[in-house]
Amino acid sequence: MGYIKASLKGMILEANSKAGKILGLAEKDLIGKDFRGFIDPTGNRKALQFVKNLKPVESILKVKVNNHPPGSKFIDFRVVQTRSEKKTEETLEIFIVDCSERHQLREELEQCREELMLTKELLREKNIALRELMGQVEIENQKVKESIAFNIEKLLFPLIKRLRNKSRDADLPGFDLLEKNISQIASQFDLKISILPDRLSGKEIEVCNMVRSGFSSKEIASIFGVSIKTVETHRKNIRKKLNLEDRKINLAVYLNAI
């Protein structure tokens, strides 16, 4: 610990080698200098008050030392007023400690804390974005699942039922197996059609699927076991519900494009 004895005006009268080392001058060079000249009170209210009033203080922490490169030396010090044995001369005893390393560690710790908070905030923002993305993916997955289930129910099962009704008894186990495993097959029918049950009836959706796949009205009529006129009526109703009545657009082309 550095030790300095100073007059009530701050003039250094005595100093030990530790004080000289801390303040950056030899002991003999400290004598006669004003101790306050070594103190930079910038940003330290207590140090500023001491420089102005030069009164005893219990402790002043983390004070810059002026005669060192900026920010390189900091001290803690305590000032005690004493009297000589004859009680005629009053002096100040100043005890100083080099806290530069501790101050540097605190600054590094604070910098690490700020960087950690920044990293934490970045991670929080990324987590929010990731949750939003995962939520959107889940929504899209749910749409696909609903589309597949809808297409299987409205397109494949009705077709299998018609084929079963026209088949021999020996073929029925094959249809049973087909129905059991058909849910594993991903539908190729476009989602935009599959989500229009209110606008298109189940039969109309089947017709759309066949038209989209290139079947003619005659072929569709044969599969359904109805007249070609009935199929044409279905096609006309489909065009109306899809707002294609007054538009010169081929229905198959339109269904493949949406």
Q: Is the pLDDT of residue 190 over 90?
A: no
Domains defined along the chain, listed by start: 2-98 (3.30.450.20), 143-257 (no CATH)
Average pLDDT over residues 145-174: 73
Higher per-residue pLDDT: 238 or 144: 238
Average pLDDT over residues 115-141: 88
Q: Is the pLDDT of residue 71 over 90?
A: no
Neighbours of 147 (CB within 10 A): 19
Q: Is the pLDDT of residue 1 over 60?
A: yes
- Residue 182 confidence class, pLDDT cut points 50, 70, 90: low
Higher per-residue pLDDT: 139 or 193: 139
Average pLDDT over residues 172-181: 68
Residue with tokens 């001491």: 50
Low-confidence winner among 19-33, 127-141, 162-176 (lowest mean pLDDT): 162-176
pTM exceeds 0.75 for this model: no
How far apart (Å, rounded) are the C-alpha atoms in residues 99 and 61?
Answer: 8
Q: Is the pLDDT of residue 22 over 60?
A: yes
Q: What is the pLDDT of residue 176?
A: 67
Q: What is the pLDDT of residue 205?
A: 84
Low-confidence winner among 89-98, 161-170, 197-206 (lowest mean pLDDT): 161-170
